[in-house]
Structure 1
């Protein structure tokens, strides 16, 4: 590897000083890019013991060495200190963000400080500008995007607009950053960190050039990858029905959460299946830049205006996770209303998974008499989309004390009103799988508290035996392979394509031969660096808890074994502590 190939090109922009600096940061052999680079940059610029909203905290956007060169290398990693749990966190998004950053000439963008007024940062290969957009205060995500497309014209095919809605401005702990309308940095509150910086949006103009590799093997390598993802059938599921294809199989396996996880199966699942969405609402497929698969499914919602008797058509992207949170978790079985609830959350700039699951807790708390309409301002009930949509609006606007607390997470609200036992929070509000003990323990402890941190949801569906050591070994091994992909940064749907031996060939082709030779060591360094940072910012894996509701679940294997689940949680937590422990240098005492 040449000396320049070890260096990351990082734009560090101080919003307080309104100044950007290009910083050359060495470390590709240790960090690779993406997740590893975000950790490296937080270690360099972050304030581990300061609050998430401290102006000095960085908001980091990082891409990988294969971005722009190979299919499905389409994601950007956002690194930040989370206002949800005050730990170092990551969120991943696609859209045009990664390609725009690559064509702008940067491996990463780091925002520090706080703008004097609500502002938008425009970044291009030869331009950096901070624009006063105080008039967008309180504007929803789509209004903001529409205006910014006029304000920041040019490079439309390689332009990415990352923006927040009212929830981000109001400091909701699960406010998201909307990326190019259909994608999101969704989980753990990146949107609130952006709002705390008085930054309404970041527009990245990919207006530079990207020379093709000189290595003669590049065309063949590209074609091989392209053929695998388009002609082999391995990605067909994602293009056709998309992840909503999971609904009926999960429901059949008694693994689909319904009505705040009071049930794991329901006879009305067919109404909100992937097949039902495709038949009734699908308008078209879309894709992230650099992806030939087209897994983004865009549905249609009609909004009627009672005063004028006219209507507007909204295009709403859907996947299994948003559909779960706006659908079965809230007892809603009309696919049009599921999309309408998703649309409302999108407009507010809320992570729909956390918002939907938090509202499911609120509905059950209402049923149990812990809260009333005095707090909720609407009559909440499962399966009542009108009230639920209004509650999403109230949540995004932090309408009163109740919604301010609920906007910090279901467990925060439960600490005030009661109901911790049925708050479906395992690290953060749960994702759309109730597959069993492995999944519940994994999401509780894992780095992002995400269903994509490991394949635990799949492991549960294949294994009935109880073997703590085997499960922990699987979780640790599976995480390592996924961290490599999030350092590159690949869409995780392509994990069967980008195996380590293939990745090594691709890196060598691009001139990263030394990195390719030490790929396993580099990805392991990146993984351990992430865990060390999370723990340095206050995370205690042994102190995590699984609420009682998760021990009341029945899946295809039968009732949850709470003792076994707790053993898995503790076993995985101990493994994480080992990963975060300092590695002894050669010659040091053991």
Structure 2
């Protein structure tokens, strides 16, 4: 079942030509993150701007995609508009199975279309469709229209951008099948720069399964662990939204641009409150029996006779933090309303929410004026934020254009760097302490999922730089295997190394199984080599003053420990990224 080579479709938008490539090295690169880093090193042009037509947009799946549950993610790789270097973003939906049933391990898009277009492909189709009529449409409307035009069913994914991507915002995401996203680091801007409004992939091919009893028995065992034990129950029930109350109680939930870490207003935005007052249903990515996607509703009045339209909005912890506590909003329906506008605009919700929080404090402090923003913003004022979302996505003035390039870009221009909540990119919702601040600010994706540093902080481990560094390096290496497979990280306790080896073996991948530890170390280094090739300097990373000022459950951060760990991790990254002599 597992081939020794990768099947890669290269599409050149400038020439209108496509090519199937065969790339050896499955046992070395595995797929997903490993394959994405390899392809980016092959295709990317570090000397050119991020939006140059020659820069690639890459989508990769893994060797277990389509064979086992929760192997449901796709890795998207590109040169980021935020920092001009290698970036990865991960998403689920139907994207991974669509690529698998289209017969592909990876899709590489280069060039730029002369006109807005939709790339439509499958096992037996490659089509460039005119999309002039879609340009300017929001991400949700674009998906709705394309579902009517492209009548396929089954394993079909529609990846599209909103106005933020068209305007090449560094916060622009790629919306995947409405409720999932390649969210962080500006992948939507890369699509916009290529004049691609959407990518529709039809999984209209077929895939065989292994013969014999071993595969079925292993599949059943994994399925049972995912559905009949407590391992995944949290994600189905309240979902990650259940973390809000716990982190607020722990004094680790950012409020009002991280001016506080706990607030009584949490009662209006807990996981229980969202479930009781807004939850309509659960949904799942293709190939997942858990159903962690929680879909709430908002009401929109659409005529003078008080008739209402109900809109469905997916939510979980990070969007609630970003458009709720970070903005001082404490009423679940209002949070969902802002979230809905963010979805339409095609903005990454974490970056967008944190950016608006900085803008609000900057207005309060007089760092910027209402004349510059064109709008008044106040923490807790939902109407201001509903307007601001579209100003940010549309880069409506000099202020909003600078903010769309990244919160720290605007802060360096206007002032307010000390209270810009940026850790490499706009922070995730965990004010847990020094290890997390270092992990996100220096991590390859600047993501809270690069490592489990927020959990390490919560364990109240002693301030030992060597132990914290060892944790960061080892946890990253373990996660690299999962993101190369490409597994949902919610299932990391199920897919421990021995289980992964069994999965690979029953699919005929004995060499991959035997080489898993070496591949993990190699891919970890390869990804850092891809990042460093673009000019990343770990030693230059700074952590804003706000993270030292705020009081958490452990008190204020220890600046000496924070700096020592930052330097140690930066040194380790530089060592990992060195090419062999």
TM-score range, shorter chain: over 0.9
- Tell me which residue corresponds to 2:43: 45
Asked if 1:99 is matched to 2:97, the reply is yes
The residue that corresponds to 1:538 in the other structure is 535
State how far apart, in whole Å, the 2-side matches of 1:236 and 1:498 are.
16
Q: Which residue of 1 aligns with 2:404?
A: 407
Count of aligned residue pairs for this structure pair: 581
Residue by residue over 1:150-182, the C-alpha shift from the partner in whole angstroms, topping out at 9 and shown as x without a partner, is 22211x221000000000000101100000000
Find the counterpart in structure 2 of residue 216 from structure 1.
213
User: Counterpart in 1 of 2:354?
Assistant: 357
Q: Scaled by the length of structure 2, what TM-score is found?
A: 0.99
Q: Which residue in 2 is equivalent to 1:587?
A: none
Q: Show the counterpart of 1:262.
A: 259
| Structure 1 residue 215: Cα displacement | 4.4
Q: Which residue of 1 aligns with 2:8?
A: 10
Match of 1:338 in 2: 335
- Distance in structure 1 (CA, Å) of the matches to 2:222 and 2:276: 31
Q: Which residue of 2 aligns with 1:588?
A: none
- Distance between the aligned counterparts of 1:535 and 1:329, measured in 2? 32
Given the alignment of the two structures, is residue 279 of structure 1 paired with residue 276 of structure 2, yes or no? yes
Note the 1:20-59 alignment, pairs <5 A. Answer: 20-59=18-57
The residue number in structure 2 matching 1:88 is 86
Moved more, 300-309 or 168-177: 300-309
The offset of 1:378, in angstroms, is: 1.8
**Structure 1 residues 344-371: Cα deviation after superposition (integer angstroms, max 9, x where no partner):** 0110000010000011000000001111
Cα displacement string for residues 32-81 of structure 1 (whole angstroms, at most 9, x for unaligned residues): 00000101111121112211101000000000000000000000000000
Q: Which residue of 2 aligns with 1:375?
A: 372
Map Cα deviations across residues 309-362 of structure 1 (whole Å, 9 max, x no partner). Answer: 332111000010011000000000011011111110110000010000011000
Q: How far apart, CA to CA, are the structure 2 residues paired with 1:472 and 1:505? A: 30
Q: 1:117 touches 1:134 (CA, 8 Å); kept in 2?
A: yes
Pair 1:119-2:98 in alignment: no
Equivalent-residue separation in structure 1 for 2:556 and 2:63 (angstroms): 46
What residue is the counterpart of 1:65 in the other structure?
63
Question: Partner of 2:438 in structure 1?
Answer: 441
- Asked if 1:522 is matched to 2:515, the reply is no
Q: Give, in whole Å, the separation in 2 of the partners of 1:215 and 1:125.
A: 27
Give distance in 1, aligned partners of 2:173 and 2:565. 31
- Provide the rounded CA distance (Å) in 1 between the counterparts of 2:414 and 2:101: 50
144, 148, 155: which one pairs with 2:146?
A: 148
1:233 pairs with 2:230: yes
CA distance in 1, matches of 2:563, 2:340: 37
RMSD over aligned CA atoms reads 1.1
Moved more, 85-94 or 374-383: 374-383
Contact 1:464 1:557 in 2 (8 A): no
**Partner-residue secondary structure (3-state), 1:284:** strand
Q: Does 1:167 align with 2:164?
A: yes
**1 CA distance for matches of 2:17 and 2:512?**
33
For 1:407 and 1:42, locate their aligned partners in 2 and report how far apart those are by CA, in whole Å. 25
Whether the 8 Å contact between 1:33 and 1:64 is mirrored in structure 2 is: yes
1:325 to 322, 326, 333: 322
1:29: Cα distance to partner? Answer: 1.5
Which blocks of at least 5 consecutive residues in structure 1 are unaligned? 585-590
The match for 2:239 among 218, 239, 242 is 242
Contact 1:10–1:107 (Cα < 8 Å) also in 2: yes
2:494 maps to which residue? 497
Partner SS for 1:161: strand
2:133 match: secondary structure: helix
Superposition pairs of residues 423-442 of structure 1, within 5 angstroms: 423-442=420-439
Greater shift in the superposed pair: 308-317 or 84-93:
308-317
Q: CA deviation at 1:463?
A: 2.0
- Quote the offset at 1:583 in angstroms: 3.3
Counterpart in the other structure of 2:77: 79
Structure 1 residues 79-112: Cα deviation after superposition (integer angstroms, max 9, x where no partner): 0000011110000000000000000000011100
Q: Secondary structure at the match of 1:73?
A: coil
Deviations 1:380-426 (A, max 9, x none): 00000110110001111111111111101111111111100000001
1:473 aligns with 2:470: yes
CA-to-aligned-CA distance 1:431-478 (integer Å, 9 cap, x gap): 011000110011110110100000100000002421001000000000
3-state DSSP of counterpart to 1:268: helix
Distance in 2 (alpha carbons) for counterparts of 1:28 and 1:505: 17
How far apart, CA to CA, are the structure 2 residues paired with 1:307 and 1:354? 36
Instruction: Give the secondary structure class of the aligned counterpart of 2:145.
Output: helix
If the length of structure 1 is used for normalisation, what is the TM-score?
0.97
- Report the secondary structure of 1:134's partner residue: coil
Distance 1:110 1:22 in 2: 10
1:276-298 Cα deviation digits (max 9, x unpaired): 00000000000000000000000
Give the Cα separation in 2 of the matches to 1:484 and 1:270: 38
Please tell me whether the aligned partners of residues 215 and 510 of structure 1 are also in contact (alpha carbons under 8 angstroms). no
The reply on whether 1:458 has 2:452 as its aligned counterpart is no
3-state SS, counterpart of residue 157 of structure 1: coil
What stretches of structure 1 move > 6 A for 4+ residues in a row?
none
| Per-residue deviation, 1:307 | 4.6
Q: Which runs of 5+ in 2 are unaligned?
A: none
- Per-residue displacement from partner, 1:105-132 (whole Å, max 9, x unpaired)? 0001110000110000001100000000
CA contact (8 A) 1:282 1:300 kept: yes
Question: 1:402, 1:321 → 2: CA distance?
Answer: 26
Contact 1:395 1:403 in 2 (8 A): yes
Q: Distance in 2 between matches of 1:153 and 1:441?
A: 47
Instruction: List per-residue Cα deviations over 1:491-519 (Å, max 9, x = no partner).
Output: 00000011111111110111111111111
**Matches of 1:522 and 1:560 in 2, distance apart?**
36
